[in-house]
Amino acid sequence: MRGWWREIGGLVLPAACGGCGRPRTELCEECAAALTGVPRRVRPTPEPAGLPAVHAAAPYGNAVRAMLLAHKERGALGLAGALGGALAGAVGAGTGPWGGAGPLLLVPVPSARRATAARGHDPARRIALAAAAELRRRGVPARVLPVLRQRRPVADQSGLGARERQVNLAGALVVASGARRLLDEGPVVLVDDMLTTGASLAEAARAVGAAGPAATGAATGLRAAVVAASPSAFEINRN
C-alpha cells in the first residue's frame, strides 16, 4: 500500500529534481547527464574474495548520490527509468555486444526484508526491471530473475567497514530452491544500485555458485553491474 500511495503521490504533488532539487521537474537535464557517462570497470579496495567483474555507470557522489537516495529512501519512484538506463549501460559494458544464446538474466541483490517493508519497495529490483526494459529496447533479450533470498537477518550496513560488512553478510543469501534451474537459461549478471565495499555482490556471487548443478554454468564467467560505485573504485583500474 505504501508503494502504491507513493506512485499516486508522484502524479499529483509538485515535482523537484531528484539530483539538485530544482522545482517543477523530476530530473533536470544536468543531473540526467551525470548518469550518461561511459561505464567503467570498478574495484573496491580491499577487494573481497569472490567478487565478480563489476561495471558502474557513474561515481557515487553529488547528483548521482542524491538521485539514488531519493529513489531508495524518499520514494522518488519516477527516477527508476533514468537509473535503470544507467544500469543497462553498465550491464552492456560488462557483457559486450550481444550474441549469446538465451536471455540475459539480471539477478538483483535483495534488500533486507525490514528495509523493503519500511521503504515500500525494493530499489535494486525496481531499477533492474527498468534496466531490462531498456536492454530489450536495444535488442538484448533481457529479463529480471529475482531468485536471491535472505536466509537470516543481517545488521544495518551503514557505519560498517569493509571487513565488518563481509562478516555481516557471510552466508546470508541463498537461491530460492524452486528457482535454481532458471539460472541455467542464460548468462547471469548480478545487479545492484551501488557498490561500496563489494561485500553484497561477493555474497550474491557465492550464493549463485553454491546453488547446485543447475547454476554451475551461471557461476562461470559471472559478471555484475551497478548504477554507481565509490569514486575510489573508479580511481583504481587494474584491467
> Which stretch of 62-66, 101-105, 188-192 has the lowest confidence by average pLDDT?
101-105
Most confident by average pLDDT, 152-156, 216-220, 227-231: 227-231
Q: H or E element: which one contains 215?
A: none
User: pLDDT-derived band of residue 212, with 50, 70 and 90 as boundaries?
Assistant: low
Nearest to 227, CA basis, from 114, 118, 106:
106
Residue 172: per-residue pLDDT: 76
DSSP structure string for 30-75? HHHHTT-S--EEE--SSPPTTPPEEEEEEESSHHHHHHHHHHHHS-
Nine cell digits for residue 149: 533470498
DSSP structure string for 149-210? EE-S-----TT--HHHHHHHHTT-EEE-GGGGGGGGGS-EEEEEEEESSSHHHHHHHHHHHT
For 115, list phi and psi in degrees, rounded to 5. -65, -40
Nine cell digits for residue 59: 561515481
Is residue 166 within 8 A of residue 44, CB to CB? The reply is: no
